[in-house]
Structure 1
Amino acid sequence: MDKKTKADFEKREIPPFLEKILALDVEWTKKFVSFSLNFVPIRSLKTHCKFLEYSCHGLVWLSALLAFCWLIDNPNYYQLQMNLLIGLILDIVFVASIKAATRRRRPTIDDSFLTIGPDKFSFPSGHASRAFFILLFFTALEPLPLLFWPPMFAWAVSVSLSRLLLYRHHILDVCGGITLGILESLLICILWLGKDASAWVMSWLSDEKLPSGTTQEDLF
């Protein structure tokens, strides 16, 4: 009787129909990237892919937002800060959970130094989900002036496309990420914190963030 290795036991059984879909996804991703690189604008975009990758990384956005919350003590921004923070945290949790469950391999080894934990897996694309959540947040939930909408849309699309050009993800990974980002924006719309709730959360995070300039102890 042949002895089964640990890898044999850990290998997951994939339904035949799903295996065919994944195989087609791999094939069409290669064809799409190869075809896209025939166009000069796409080739020029590839030179900026690394910048796009870092511009939408979860740790970068979380760090920047926390710094913004700490440095800008303005009650007018509390609602934006708190709801965006909740959305970014939920995005990281959802993406990590789905990646840990699906465990789909990336097209190539991810050499990014910011890749940790479940992020080594491919489905869904966290960059795509985050880019479209941020896009919808600043165009539908907490709209910026219309002047900023076109560049934000271009950035979100470019980030998603860069995941393919860098060969970090397959087409289905990016589509799944975009869908997840849209669903996250709908969820945040339901869970939306008002001004009072946002001010309370901000005061709970830091005594110095109370709108009245008092400390938490002064409330009791």
Structure 2
Amino acid sequence: MSRETPKRRPPLWLQQALAFDEQVTKKFVIWGNSWAPLHSLRVHYKALEITCHGIPWLAFWIAFTWLFNLPYLVELQVNIILALILDILFVALIKAYFRRRRPLANKNDAFAEFGPDHFSFPSGHCSRAAMVTIIFGFLWQVPLIMFPPLLAWTVALCLSRVLMERHYLLDVIGGVVLGIMEGLLMAILWIGDENARWLMNIVSDEKIEGADV
């Protein structure tokens, strides 16, 4: 008769930290939903959730790259796709390892949630938003006038993940930290224009000018 493998239990200090996180998150949600500026954000929660979901982002950039194979955008397109793949991979691995349950108040109505997405730590939406902010803020700088809306979107998204009770505060913080680290990693792995065009020439039937093949 085979013995059942005992469930992995986190150390006491971590259990206490998670319990504290749950209490603080609950108080934050009550306060946030009673404060008018944040309460008005509720109608946009679902839209914010979709705007930073990994599948639409990856699908959009692959389609955008395939349909609009423009020489001056190839470097950005290749690196964004690489960054999204890395983010999805890192988030899935970390979630599968920690396996933290989502808040009890969370409704199982999330868009395209499967596999490790059922777990809470870290927030993939927040990691992706932070990473995108790093990329467009520092690695492929958008015009300065576009950065405040980008930052506002990131902050609103992170707040919505808690107020929507999809995540605890620690999940969001962990997601943001992960996203920043991914942005720094992309600064190291960044594929230059010439190499990006070379890669695109390999996978595309259309030759892009400026790449040696």
Scaled by the length of structure 2, what TM-score is found? 0.94
Pick closer, same or farther for the CA change 1:10–1:117 going to 2, 3 Å.
Answer: farther
2: CA distance between counterparts of 1:115 and 1:154?
25
Choose which of 164, 168, 173 in structure 2 pairs with 1:175: 173
Answer yes or no: is 1:24 the counterpart of 2:4.
no
Number of matched pairs: 211
1: CA distance between counterparts of 2:147 and 2:6?
46
Q: Percent identity?
A: 47
Contact 2:123 2:171 in 1 (8 A): yes
Alignment deviations for residues 159-187 of structure 1 (CA, whole Å, 9 cap, x no partner): 11110011000000000000000000000
Pick closer, same or farther for the CA change 1:10–1:100 going to 2, 3 Å.
Answer: farther
**SS of match in other structure, 2:10:** coil
2: CA distance between counterparts of 1:82 and 1:160?
26
Choose which of 109, 115, 135 in structure 1 pairs with 2:133: 135
Alignment deviations for residues 51-104 of structure 1 (CA, whole Å, 9 cap, x no partner): 000000001111111111011121110100011111010000000000000000
Choose which of 194, 201, 204 in structure 2 pairs with 1:203: 201
CA shift at 1:111, angstroms?
A: 2.0
Answer yes or no: is 1:81 the counterpart of 2:63.
no
CA shift at 1:115, angstroms?
A: 0.3
Choose which of 30, 33, 40 in structure 1 pairs with 2:29: 33
Gaps of 5+ in 2: none
Contact 1:110 1:168 in 2 (8 A): no
Contact 1:78 1:202 in 2 (8 A): yes
The residue that corresponds to 2:60 in the other structure is 64
CA shift at 1:10, angstroms?
A: 4.6
2: CA distance between counterparts of 1:97 and 1:10?
22
2: CA distance between counterparts of 1:188 and 1:125?
19
The residue that corresponds to 1:92 in the other structure is 88
| Bigger Rg over Cα | 1
Counterpart of 1:183 in structure 2: which amino acid? M
Scaled by the length of structure 1, what TM-score is found? 0.91
The residue that corresponds to 2:183 in the other structure is 185
1: CA distance between counterparts of 2:108 and 2:183?
28
Q: RMSD value over aligned CA atoms?
A: 1.9
Counterpart of 1:171 in structure 2: which amino acid? L
CA shift at 1:124, angstroms?
A: 0.2
